[in-house]
Amino acid sequence: MIRELHEKLKSGTLTAVSLAESYLSRIDERDGEIGAFLSILGEDARKSARFVDEKIARGEEIGLLEGVPGAVKDNMCKVGTRTTAGSKILDGYVSPYDATVIERLSGAGAVILGKTNMDEFAMGSSTESSAYRQTKNPVDPERVPGGSSGGSAAAVADGMAVFALGSDTGGSIRQPASFCGIVGLKPTYGRVSRYGLIAMASSLDQIGPFTQTVEDAAIVFSEIYGYDPMDVTTAESDGKRFEDFLSGDICGLRIGVPKEYLSGGLDDRVRKTFDASVERFRSLGAEIREISLPHAKYALPVYYIIMPSEVSSNLARFDGVRYGMSVDDKTERFSESDTLLETYLDTRGYGFGDEVKRRVMLGTYALSAGYYDAYYKKAQDVRKLIRKDFADAFREVDLVFSPTAPEPAFRFGAKQDDPVGMYLSDIYTVTANLAGIPAISFPMGTVEEEGKRLPVGGQLMGKWFDEETMLRAADAFEKAGADERK
Ligand code: GLN
């Protein structure tokens, strides 16, 4: 899709301004119903589009992403705009600087249409924990779009943006991509700078794109990755353009299917779609091998110790003094004698939602003296074993393939009072974050539910810093599907 738009912009059959306008009117028409956006940056978008048109008019070369309209999750700072991270506590906060990914996108000439809805501080799997609005799944508006980057996924799935950025700490790009029937890429930890991303769990967070096609994901990813002095965990850029690796040829590629992933809570229909997808990879010439990830069963418990521990530390900065709202602006409950501690307590009590409080409490407990060794340290030790499982597996196979989520999109409210049920949504995705490896979700088929066809995603996980093999395989899969439908 991006390549076609690029050709049209270059040849003058389309202007960047008219392209931006058509997306802004789509948002105008549809977002009342879908609820994907928290803010719309119409004027900024028009300005960047005009800039691209002027460049074309001067006969200058334009890059693949120039003039292409996209959206970003509302936990990424864009100078002069509101950034809420889906939380009341950041109501009124205006970013004083650009996140590195925003800088990169602007540098690449992309047109940023707006900021998208999300679960509060990216905690959740349905976008229902947003303090601001509900986001509907465009495939079936009675269902959630997944989360936590539900707004970004819904915007792309509904044609309100060509691409959108999300963040993925335990599955927040891949699971909503699966629920909405689009592509979502979580790069290797350290590929994309987290500078200007509101931190959830810093050892797990990564930014990546949502798109309609694998090639588009490769194009957006190529623009945003690379070394950044503002994020010490970023790796040197190796100059790759990932869209150059999509040859369609996966003959001889070794794809491992972890036996531990295919038992327990996996929906039968998802399992069937998955089995058919394994056959598609086989028919494309890949060699399928059963593999074992012996510590996979500990991934979710380990994630739900490490993530809240980091959350409790990262979220300590929201105290009603430094960022966003302070409770006395809202309620005027304070008298002169109120102490600083009371301001903290009142602001955090009012500003944070239930899920955030639950995790801050869990994390504070896991890190407290006397429990640290039993929980946090133990979880870190098991995390090493999970990572080693992948290192061992990647001696035998090039990629690991699994479903992205155990079931298709669920209905609103279905898991809101059942936090553990909600956490189980991440059972196949958290491992990639714990191990730091790249992973992608792409449409693998649909399953029928109540007369509707709901999309389900397949997940490929790759070796550290080997996004290209993963993208090549997902692209070959997608092309083969398009051929089958012809
Ligand atoms: N759903 C997971 C959680 O609630 C993942 C969130 C994320 O990746 N940001 O923690």
Atom of ligand 1 nearest to the CA of 355: 4
pLDDT tens digit sequence for 145-182: 999 999 999 999 999 999 999 999 999 999 999 999 99
- What single-letter amino acid sits at 55? K
* Cα 437–chain centre separation: 14
In the numeric block, which tokens belong to residue 267? 């929906």
Confidence of residue 294 (pLDDT cuts 50, 70, 90): very high
Gap from CA of 483 to ligand 1 centroid (Å): 35
The SS3 of residue 130 is coil
Q: Which among 105, 14, 13, 11 has a CA at the least distance from the CA of 66? A: 105
At residue 126, the pLDDT reads 96
47 labelled catalytic: no
Q: Given a cut of 80, is residue 336 above it in pLDDT? A: no
Could you tell me if 125 and 168 are in contact, meaning their C-beta atoms sit under 8 angstroms apart? no
Peptide bond into 148 cis (omega under 30): yes
To the nearest whole percent, how much of the chain has pLDDT over 90?
A: 87
At residue 330, the pLDDT reads 53
Q: What sign does the CA torsion over 82, 83, 87, 88 have? A: negative
Gap from CA of 3 to ligand 1 centroid (Å): 32
Atom of ligand 1 nearest to the CA of 430: 5
In this structure, are strands 183-186 and 111-116 parallel, antiparallel, or unpaired? unpaired
Gap from CA of 366 to ligand 1 centroid (Å): 18
Confidence of residue 325 (pLDDT cuts 50, 70, 90): confident
- What single-letter amino acid sits at 103? E
| Strand arrangement of the beta sheet that strand 399-403 belongs to | 37-40, 111-116, 69-73, 163-168, 206-211, 183-186, 439-449, 452-462, 399-403, 254-258, 287-291
Q: Is 154 in the pocket of ligand 1 (CB under 6 A)?
A: no
Q: Is 35 in the pocket of ligand 1 (CB under 6 A)?
A: no
Distance between CA atoms of residues 316 and 337, nearest Å: 24
Q: Is 168 in the pocket of ligand 1 (CB under 6 A)?
A: yes
pLDDT tens digit sequence for 428-475: 999 999 999 999 999 999 999 988 999 999 999 999 999 999 999 999
Confidence of residue 87 (pLDDT cuts 50, 70, 90): very high
Distance between CA atoms of residues 440 and 421, nearest Å: 23
- Name the catalytic one among 172, 222, 402, 425: 172
Confidence of residue 262 (pLDDT cuts 50, 70, 90): confident
Pocket test for ligand 1, best of 73, 87, 172, 431 (most atoms within 8 A of CB): 172
Gap from CA of 171 to ligand 1 centroid (Å): 6
Confidence of residue 72 (pLDDT cuts 50, 70, 90): very high
In the numeric block, which tokens belong to residue 329? 């602006």
Q: Given a cut of 60, is residue 372 above it in pLDDT? A: yes
Could you tell me if 406 and 267 are in contact, meaning their C-beta atoms sit under 8 angstroms apart? yes
Gap from CA of 342 to ligand 1 centroid (Å): 30
25 labelled catalytic: no
Rg (CA), the chain: 22
Whole-number mean pLDDT of the chain? 94
What is the average pLDDT across 343-368? Answer: 93
CB-based contacts of 456: which residues, under 8 Å, 6+ apart? Answer: 178, 269, 270, 273, 403, 404, 405, 408, 443, 444, 445, 446, 447
Name the residue with the closest Cα to ligand 1, atom 10: 123
At residue 329, the pLDDT reads 54
Q: Is 124 in the pocket of ligand 1 (CB under 6 A)?
A: yes
Atom of ligand 1 nearest to the CA of 433: 8
In the numeric block, which tokens belong to residue 54? 């002027």
- Name the catalytic one among 87, 125, 129, 148: 148
At residue 112, the pLDDT reads 98
CATH classification number, 2-245, choose in 3.40.50.300, 3.40.1350.10, 3.90.1300.10, 2.30.30.90: 3.90.1300.10
What is the average pLDDT across 267-296? Answer: 96
| Helices of type H across 58-99 | none
Q: Is 459 in the pocket of ligand 1 (CB under 6 A)?
A: no
Report domain extents, the chain. 2-245
Could you tell me if 471 and 245 are in contact, meaning their C-beta atoms sit under 8 angstroms apart? yes
What is the average pLDDT across 399-415? Answer: 96
Distance between CA atoms of residues 149 and 165, nearest Å: 8
Q: What sign does the CA torsion over 122, 126, 131, 133 have? A: positive
Distance between CA atoms of residues 204 and 350, nearest Å: 27
The SS3 of residue 148 is coil
At residue 51, the pLDDT reads 97
- What single-letter amino acid sits at 371? Y
Q: Which among 242, 261, 147 has a CA at the least distance from the CA of 200? A: 147
Residue 338: how many CB atoms within 10 A of its CB? 13
In this structure, are strands 452-462 and 206-211 parallel, antiparallel, or unpaired? unpaired
Distance between CA atoms of residues 478 and 183, nearest Å: 10
Distance between CA atoms of residues 206 and 463, nearest Å: 16
Atom of ligand 1 nearest to the CA of 168: 8
* Cα 241–chain centre separation: 21
Which stretches of 144-296 are assigned E, i.e. beta strand?
163-168, 183-186, 206-211, 254-258, 287-291
Determine the Cα angle at 99 with ends 168 and 219, to 5°: 65
Confidence of residue 335 (pLDDT cuts 50, 70, 90): very low
* Cα 224–chain centre separation: 14
Could you tell me if 235 and 466 are in contact, meaning their C-beta atoms sit under 8 angstroms apart? no
Confidence of residue 346 (pLDDT cuts 50, 70, 90): confident
* pTM of structure: 0.96
326 labelled catalytic: no
Residue 202: how many CB atoms within 10 A of its CB? 15
Could you tell me if 386 and 301 are in contact, meaning their C-beta atoms sit under 8 angstroms apart? no
Q: Given a cut of 80, is residue 337 above it in pLDDT? A: no
At residue 202, the pLDDT reads 97
DSSP 350: H
Distance between CA atoms of residues 402 and 441, nearest Å: 10
Q: Which among 194, 108, 113 has a CA at the least distance from the CA of 155? A: 113
Q: Which among 407, 401, 408 has a CA at the least distance from the CA of 453? A: 408
